[in-house]
Structure formats: C-alpha cells, structure tokens
Structure 1
Amino acid sequence: MEQQLKDKWVVPELVGQALATVLMLVSLHWFVFLLNLPVAAWNMYRVWKVPMGNMGVFDPTEIHNRGQLKSHMKESMIKLGFHLLCFFIYLYSMILALIND
C-alpha cells in the first residue's frame, strides 16, 4: 500500500468515493447508493491491484511501455461522464428537496 501513496489524487478520490457511497447507504438513498457502488468498488480494485514495482496507479513508464495511455484516457472519460451525471442527479435532488419544504 506504500507504493500507491505516491499518486497525488488517487487516494483522495478513493476516500471521497467510498465516503459518498457510505453516506448514501446510511441516508437510505438506494438508487444513488447503487449508482456509486460499482465506481467505489472499481477504485478500490484499481488501487489494490497495482504491481509491486510500480510508482502507483498511474506509473508514467508503465503507461507508455505497455500502451496503457488509451485505456487510462478511456477510464478518465467514463469517470468524467459518471461525475457529470451524478452532479445533475444531486442538483435535481437538492432542488426537489427545496421545493417540497
């Protein structure tokens, strides 16, 4: 686990996604919890499956040597779309809660 701590943004992303998922479970928002669960599980899987010699999840030498740049860019675009979708779901939920009060 020491190796992964070199990634500046991976650990905060993992903690934030896990925290959001747990908070949705505690507040009984089942749809949003089920929406966040696969992303939180993927983040945990990605961090724990880093090979021992790598600098972290996004090891620059491994990305270029194995041609992983395209797969990392694809993963980033999927996560961007997911976070954009979540933003609008949360915004809609907030507006709906404000209107109903």
Structure 2
Amino acid sequence: EFDICFCLIWIIPELVGQSLSTVLMLVSMHWFIFLLNLPVAAWNIYRYVKVPMGNMGVFDPTEIHNRGQLKSHMKEAMIKLGFHLLCFFIYLYR
C-alpha cells in the first residue's frame, strides 16, 4: 500500500499536469508551446513506466545516497527548473 501511495503522491500529479498542459496546447493550436512541452511530457511518462515494482517511487530511499544516482537526480532537477523558468517567461509574454 505504501509503495503505491508514495508513487502516486510524487509522480502522478506531475505526469497529469504536464500531459494535460501539452494536450491543451495541442487543442488550442499553440504549436511552438506544444512542441516545447512534448519532450517533458514524454519524459514523465517514461519515468512513470520505468519505476521498478519494488521501489517506493522514482527516488528509492535506500539507493539515493549512491553518488552517481544523486548526481543524476540533481541534474534532472536543475534541467526541470530551467525548463519551468523558460516556460514561465514564454507564457508570461506570449
């Protein structure tokens, strides 16, 4: 139960929000923003599908202190931060 709940708390809202905004941009024919959001939505779907059954989510607490994984998670977080900052200014001035 806890495994599924933890996965739902962290992965599902991000997946649904990004996918919904991507579909809305497609429906409203904002092609540039749709193409900008499409890789991030695909990455979130890929992350959700690739979570092993025994893990508690994307970030397994027993393996998070592994230096290689910690670096890759931090890199992913910084890339997402940059993407959302870019999207903020695009949405603000568009």
**Would you say same fold, with TM above 0.5?**
yes
Q: CA deviation at 1:52?
A: 1.6
Partners of 2:76 and 2:64 lie apart in 1 by: 13
Question: Unaligned regions of 5+ residues in structure 1, if any?
Answer: 94-101
Partners of 1:48 and 1:3 lie apart in 2 by: 15
Question: Unaligned regions of 5+ residues in structure 2, if any?
Answer: none
**Aligned-pair RMSD on alpha carbons?**
1.7
Query: What is the count of residue pairs matched by the alignment?
Result: 92
CA change 1:71–1:84 in 2 (3 A) is: same
2:76 corresponds to: 75
Q: CA deviation at 1:40?
A: 0.2
CA change 1:80–1:4 in 2 (3 A) is: farther
Partners of 2:64 and 2:36 lie apart in 1 by: 29
Partners of 2:10 and 2:54 lie apart in 1 by: 19
- Superposition misfits of 4+ residues, deviation over 3 angstroms: 2-5
2:33 corresponds to: 32
Q: Over alpha carbons, which structure has the higher Rg?
A: 1
**What SS is found at the alignment partner of 1:67?**
helix
CA change 1:67–1:47 in 2 (3 A) is: same
8 A Cα contact 1:4 1:55, kept in partner: yes
CA change 1:17–1:36 in 2 (3 A) is: same
Partners of 1:66 and 1:48 lie apart in 2 by: 24
